Amino acid sequence: MPRPPFIRQPGTASAPRIVAVEGRGRAFRMPLPSGLSLLEAARQGFAAEGFASGTLRLADVALAPFAYVMPALSRDGQNAAFYSETFRPAGITRLDAGALTFGRRDGAPFFHCHALWREADGHCNGGHILPDATMIAEDAMVEAFGIAGATFEANPDPETNFKLFGPVSDDSAGGQGDCRAFALRLRPNQCFHAALEDFCRERGIAKALIHGGVGSLIGAAFEDGSITEPFATEVFLAAGTIAAGAGGTPEAVVDAGLVDYTGGLARGRLKRGANPVLMTFELILAEA
């Protein structure tokens, strides 16, 4: 079945379609010590640099115990798509690549994380990692980006009928940034690339780096011609830049990985103009 260009959400579309909070950001390397939960390791790592929120790029991270869910079809029609039951693979799971957004939910530290990995039995899979049931099995070091002046906070979203991360102003943490940075959330049914390109053009940003990047797309289309047809996905960004294209206007180049609700995995460079947002997408856009 061909993937649809639009998915109807249970609630009314909200404005603005891009939620943005400006702050100052800085990239750094973060240790993830074994024996801590992934949530606590992220909290400690950002706090050590003076930040209350930010993003991680995950690679070569060993986790055990480990718990996750996958995208799934809605069970009751209350959401456009939903989550599977919880999976808890035995042994050590090794993350191949992923992205994590760190912030708060209900006043406590929380994260939103999608990744691809290999389980102890050799099975490759991907999905949405559960913060309260995932521990670090071996010391690791990952790329981080902290933002001051903004925090990702989970709040009810009437449009999708989920509690979703979005940026809010926050001056509580004293981390020092070295560049202008924007915490962003993209709402459903808009072109992922065009939304970011328009955002940069409207604000006079000539060049930017994308840090983190966690959300969902309506299936996916890649530059190599491959297509993920199932519409419900869990997506992370592996890399992303925005710079002037041949016509002098901003163009986004974005590499992503995903799992769809049938268990299909995909990685590659996303095709411009062909990837609408399903539920949400949050990321940090840092002026280069």
How far is C-alpha 244 from the geometric centre of its chain's CA atoms? 24
Q: Is the pTM of this model over 0.85?
A: yes
Q: What is the dihedral of CA 88, 140, 34, 46, to 10 degrees?
A: -100
Q: Give the whole-angstrom CA distance, residue 42 versus residue 103.
A: 10
Residue spans per domain, the chain: 19-287
Q: Could you tell me if 37 and 129 are in contact, meaning their C-beta atoms sit under 8 angstroms apart?
A: no
Q: Give the whole-angstrom CA distance, residue 225 versus residue 222.
A: 6
- The tens digit of pLDDT for each residue in 66-85 reads 999 999 999 999 999 999 99
- The tens digit of pLDDT for each residue in 230-278 reads 999 999 999 999 999 988 999 999 999 999 999 999 999 999 999 999 9
Q: Which two tokens stand for residue 85?
A: 């039951």
Range 19-287 has CATH code 3.40.47.10: no
Does a cis peptide bond (omega within 30 degrees of 0) precede residue 250? no
Q: Is 12 exposed, middle or buried (0-12, 13-18, 19+ CB in 10 A)?
A: exposed
- The tens digit of pLDDT for each residue in 138-168 reads 999 999 999 999 999 999 999 999 999 999 9
Closest-CA residue to 35 (of 102, 134, 131, 142): 134
AA letter at 31: P
